[in-house]
Amino acid sequence: MSGYQKLDDDDAVKHRSGQIGRTTILGKNKKRSNSGHRWPITLMEVQLLRPHQSAPGPTKVGRWGKLSDSELLEVDFLSKDPSSLPNVLLEIPQTEALPEVEFAYDTSQTIGVKVRCVHCRYENHNRGFVLQFENGDRVLVGGTCGKKRYGADFQTLERDFEAARQRASYLKRRNQTLAHAATFRSALEQLPLHPAFVSYKKTKREFSRSVTALARALHDLPSDGQLYLPTKVRDFEAENRRYERWERQMGSLTKTEMATLQRGGKHLPPRGHIFRDSEEPHWKVKGIDFFQSTHSPDGELSSISQRAGSALANLAQMQNPKTFELRQFFQAMNDLLNVIERQTLRLNEMSSALEAANVAKIVEWAQKRLDKSYSFDGLVIRHTSDGAVAEFRVPNTIGFPDYSFVSDFRDQMNEVRNDGVRS
């Protein structure tokens, strides 16, 4: 307890009056039990630090900071049933030594019952920590109680424990990732060679070449793929303005002028509807990405394959990687896996785009917007220009590639099996 001086009750009064410096939750705080007897909470001793004293220096490196990576991989971090561990005390031990966090536990996920907190002295929590002293004695402390009673010291213990636990998790994930990397890379290299990707690229090229004007018009649509057709809508505002002009004209006439109009039947208000040009929604194009994308999915996948291969090679070559480096790798690799899935699913865009009902609506729109000579018979789009007929034939459906290896690799990479659990 170097750097601290225990003060008596009079000093405590002086502290409350501002004559003595701050408190730190490290010393003795005697509390009465229900029976009236005092019982010590040695880890909770209240110490008052005099103003002229300096704060204690850096604490020694705890157990978790001393373990190597190979040792961390063998450590148990979780306890299924902490109450069943040996040497679990029901009372605070008579020692001033600060314990280490040995295990974490969440009995709501294991045995399903609450366990006893050594400070609260009854079964009141599911989540907490097993604290172990140098002599092997253990106590169970709920997370909330630990923070409340031990303050910064408990937060330090918890932080060191969680840092070690997180690093061990990343190390295990690294080993699992490298164990399955070769299989994943091989499957990824083969994915863009599937006939469905070849068909996508070929179909898109033929569509642009055969019906160029239509392909350009679809490419230039808003990204929502909404098609509009011209229409006429009644212009009520224009009709109101016409009526108001008539009223003003009638109001400015003399009796003689009005009588003249009445004899000719021209005094009545104007009739007839006024229409204006407008547009109405016609169809929202399905699979708009197929018509608007400039890069084919197979090309994107080939690029991603190279990036993934480089990342996995770097992971294998890392010597004593920092925890943050491992975290960055897994974040980046998970992002790549998401992109692989999105690029593969772009094949569905082609299927949706070339559905007969979708193509029929597109051609109907093209007839009114571009050229009346467009036609579609359910299989072929035709366009006549200067006597020449251009045709685009909708291709037959090709089977979708199996890309389940992506989710398999994600599970293998992210799942930590038996994450340091002790019964």
Output the pTM of the full model: 0.67
- Of residues 19 and 266, more confidently modeled: 266
Q: What whole-number percentage of the chain has pLDDT above 70?
A: 83
pLDDT surpassing 70 at residue 145: yes
Residues 295 and 334 in one domain: yes
Residues 125 and 31 in one domain: no
pLDDT surpassing 70 at residue 16: no
Residues 210 and 292 in one domain: yes
Residues 90 and 207 in one domain: no
Q: What is the 3-state secondary structure (H, E, C) of 48-98?
A: ECCCCCCCCCCCCCCHHHHCCHHHHCCCCCEECCHHHCCCECCCCCCCCCC
Confidence of residue 142 (pLDDT cuts 50, 70, 90): confident
Residues 153 and 201 in one domain: no
Residues 105 and 203 in one domain: no
In angstroms, rounded to a whole number, what is the distance separating the alpha carbons of residues 119 and 131? 12
In a domain, 121, yes or no: yes
Determine phi and psi for 397, rounding to 5 degrees: -70, 135
Among 173, 208, 236, residue at a domain's last position:
173
Residues 44 and 67 in one domain: no
Residues 211 and 349 in one domain: yes
**Residue 406, strand partner residues:** none
In a domain, 3, yes or no: no
Residues 211 and 323 in one domain: yes
- Of residues 339 and 95, more confidently modeled: 339
Task: Provide the 3-class DSSP secondary structure of residue 105.
Answer: strand
- pLDDT, one tens digit per residue, over 106-136 is 888 889 999 999 888 889 888 888 988 888 9
- Of residues 327 and 29, more confidently modeled: 327
In a domain, 190, yes or no: no
pLDDT surpassing 80 at residue 20: no
In a domain, 2, yes or no: no
In angstroms, rounded to a whole number, what is the distance separating the alpha carbons of residues 12 and 6? 10
Residues 162 and 293 in one domain: no
In a domain, 4, yes or no: no
Give pLDDT, residue 62.
67
In a domain, 381, yes or no: yes
Instruction: Dig out the tokens for 259 from the structure.
Output: 């009588």
Give pLDDT, residue 24.
32
Q: For the chain, what is the domain count?
A: 3
Residues 200 and 294 in one domain: yes
Least confident of 58-67, 95-104, 179-188, 326-335: 58-67
Residues 83 and 212 in one domain: no
- 365 close to 336: Cβ distance less than 8 angstroms: no
Report, as an integer, the average pLDDT of 298-325.
Answer: 93
In a domain, 359, yes or no: yes
Confidence of residue 75 (pLDDT cuts 50, 70, 90): confident
Confidence of residue 45 (pLDDT cuts 50, 70, 90): very low
- pLDDT, one tens digit per residue, over 367-381 is 999 988 999 999 999
pLDDT surpassing 50 at residue 21: no
In a domain, 250, yes or no: no
Give pLDDT, residue 2.
37
Domain that holds residue 91: 63-173
Taking CA atoms, 153 is separated from 82, 149, 159, 165, 180, in Å, by 22, 9, 10, 18, 41
Report, as an integer, the average pLDDT of 338-360.
Answer: 95
